[in-house]
């Protein structure tokens, strides 16, 4: 198992260094076919899998879905930022938990419940769940406005 890990890191480092060198030399990212030929891979799909892995680990970034849009975030394998997104089921669970908090807050009008909602809605933003964040933020603002108008 340990040997497999070393090979994976070596291949990642090799591909990352190739992409970085290519960009430095040419001013744009290499195509998957150029990577395949230069590093001796047998298929473009293998290159795509490795590139996707480097992107998900934060070593590379793809500006858009066009060809030659790879950008190097870091060439230091150990210092790449970790951006692990929640799974779909985790996102659904979190949104469901927040909706439950909203329902509880509407019944209790508790300041501590409101404070927790602010934190949970902010967590959606931090986790990169922008659509859910905007929906819950809008609901939170409307709820606060409604409570403020009732108390006046």
For residue 61, the domain's CATH number is: 1.10.10.10
Residue 1 has pLDDT above 50, yes or no: no
Q: How many domains does the chain have?
A: 2
How many CB atoms lie under 10 A from the CB of residue 117? 20
One domain, residues 40 and 108 = no
Q: Which of 32, 60, 79 is the last residue of a domain?
A: 79
- Among 102, 78, 94, smallest CA distance to 127 is for 94
Q: Which of 79, 98, 120 is the last residue of a domain?
A: 79
For residue range 27-83, what is the model confidence (pLDDT) as tens digits? 888 988 999 999 999 999 988 888 888 888 888 888 777 677 787 877 666 544 455
The predicted model scores a pTM of 0.46
Q: What angle do CA 112, 118, 114 make, to 5 degrees?
A: 30
One domain, residues 14 and 63 = yes
Q: What is the pLDDT of residue 152?
A: 60
137 — pLDDT class (breaks 50, 70, 90): very high
Residue 87 CA to residue 103 CA, distance in Å, equals 24
Mean per-residue pLDDT over the chain, rounded? 80
């Amino acid at each position: 198992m340990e040997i497999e890990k070393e090979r994976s890191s070596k291949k990642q480092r090799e591909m990352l260094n190739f992409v970085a060198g290519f960009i430095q030399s040419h001013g744009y990212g290499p195509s998957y076919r150029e990577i395949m030929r230069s590093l001796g891979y047998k298929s473009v799909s293998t290159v795509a899998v490795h590139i996707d892995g480097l992107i998900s680990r934060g070593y590379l970034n793809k500006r858009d879905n066009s060809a030659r849009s790879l950008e190097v975030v870091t060439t230091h394998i150990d210092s790449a930022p970790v951006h692990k997104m929640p799974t779909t089921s985790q996102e659904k669970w979190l949104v469901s938990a927040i909706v439950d908090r909203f329902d509880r807050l509407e019944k209790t009008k508790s300041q501590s419940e409101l404070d927790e909602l602010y934190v949970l809605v902010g967590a959606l933003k931090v986790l990169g769940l922008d659509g859910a964040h905007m929906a819950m933020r809008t609901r939170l603002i409307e709820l606060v406005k409604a409570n403020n108008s009732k108390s006046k």
